[in-house]
Amino acid sequence: MRIGNRTYNVRLGLTIFLAISIVSAIVILFLDVNKSTWSALRQIKPEYSLIVGLLMLTQWLINALRFQILVNSFEEKISFWTSFQAFMANIFMSAMTPSQTGGGPLQVYIINRAGIPLANAIAGCLIGAVLTIVCLVFSSAGILLFRHDIRLSFGHHMGAVITVVFIVFFFLTLLFMLSIFKIRLIKYIFGKIALRFSHYTKSKRKFSLTKKLIHGLDQYNRCMKIFAKAKKYRILLSGLLTMCCICANCAIAPVLLKGLSIKQDALQVFLTQFIIFFIVYFSPTPGASGLAEFSNYWIMASVNVEQNLLGIYTLIWRFFTSFIGVGVGGLIVLTLLKKRKKYKSGVKQISKT
């Protein structure tokens, strides 16, 4: 799939995503399933799946709304449906690319194709991503600080993972702050990097790419200043909606456990989900495959969730929090690609006549 000037191997990404997910599922079921698991499955309450489905749909719709609010801060506007398509396409492409790097560019591309200038689309989507990271980090840090029982239950291995993620976050925060207040320094650094990576290209193309990068950074900086000065209320509203999305996502786990008739401390499980989503958000694997399953399994085991259904719960949790979204996003991307092909074929026929 080609997005702007970049090409992504979606088929390879999908294969890796599914392969890691299937292997993870097999390992988890091997570690967990026993005779008591099958008898415990009879106690499942299927009506709770409807509540989980509503929570999942709610966070999709709120995410689409918050991105629409941010992008519509400028003169050009997008519809709620376009914002929803772009967000779901983001979910799909994030599962196809390492470190979930392809989701953002595809979201920006769809918004840009809807008539929003590229710099505005980048600024709106970037602010949305930053709000997600900030809300996850501060909520996770607060939970680890004030809930000693949750922090101690993680052990040394998960503690090391969380520490690495916090280091990455502070590096990205520093880069983000410099891009607003020290744009000349960022332009110098990225200009040097662009020249180094384009060393083997033709000289004219080398300077053309560097010039486009510098121009894009200037546009981005202007848009971010507009947000900082005149659009603060939109950022605050989007921040509130971001927390609502995260809470809806975190509420899925205790509802699933209730539906599986598993004894739990609902508040502890709910708060623990913030830490899990914090880890998953920075996962290096496509769609957080593997890391999402195992981190959820180990962390939920540490908060005294019953062992005989923990593997089944992990797979159902992953199904609702990831696989359905990836599937819906994939259908939307396929629909958009078909429309694009029809449009191109129509243009060719008109040009022939």
Domain count, the chain: 1
Averaged pLDDT for residues 179-208: 64
Residue 330 confidence (pLDDT):
92
* Residue with more model confidence, 199 or 13: 13
* pLDDT tens readout for residues 119-130: 788 888 888 888
Residue 122 confidence (pLDDT):
84
Residue 296 confidence (pLDDT):
86
- Per DSSP, what are the bridge partners of residue 3? 6
* pLDDT tens readout for residues 41-85: 777 788 888 999 999 999 999 999 999 999 888 788 999 999 999
Residue 339 CA from chain centroid, whole number: 26
* pLDDT tens readout for residues 151-166: 666 655 556 666 666 6
Averaged pLDDT for residues 184-209: 63
Averaged pLDDT for residues 330-341: 85
Q: Which domain holds residue 104?
A: 2-352
* Residue with more model confidence, 248 or 228: 248
Three-class secondary structure assignment of the chain: CEECCEECCHHHHHHHHHHHHHHHHHHHHHHHCCHHHHHHHCCCCCCHHHHHHHHHHHHHHHHHHHHHHHHCCCCCCCCHHHHHHHHHHHHHHHHHCHHHCCHHHHHHHHHHHCCCCHHHHHHHHHHHHHHHHHHHHHHHHHHHHHCHHHHHHCHHHHHHHHHHHHHHHHHHHHHHHHHHHCHHHHHHHHHHHHHHHCCCCCHHHHHHHHHHHHHHHHHHHHHHHHHHHHCHHHHHHHHHHHHHHHHHHHHHHHHHHHHCCCCCCHHHHHHHHHHHHHHHHCCCCHHHCCHHHHHHHHHHHHCCCCHHHHHHHHHHHHHHHHHHHHHHHHHHHHHHHHHHHHHHHHHHHHHHC
* Residue with more model confidence, 224 or 260: 260
* pLDDT tens readout for residues 255-296: 998 888 887 778 888 888 888 887 788 788 888 888 888 888
Structure tokens at 200: 């083997």
Residue 134 confidence (pLDDT):
81
Taking the C-alpha atoms of residue 15 and residue 99, their distance in angstroms, rounded to an integer, is: 15
Q: Which of 123-132, 226-235, 252-261 has the lowest mean pLDDT?
A: 226-235
* pLDDT category of residue 336 using cuts at 50, 70 and 90: confident
Is the pLDDT at 97 greater than 60? The verdict is: yes
Nearest alpha-carbon partner for 314 in 271, 273, 268: 273
Residue 347 confidence (pLDDT):
44
What is this structure's pTM? Answer: 0.78
Is the pLDDT at 242 greater than 70? The verdict is: yes
Q: Do residues 88 and 325 touch, judged by C-beta distance below 8 A? A: yes
Residue 247 confidence (pLDDT):
93
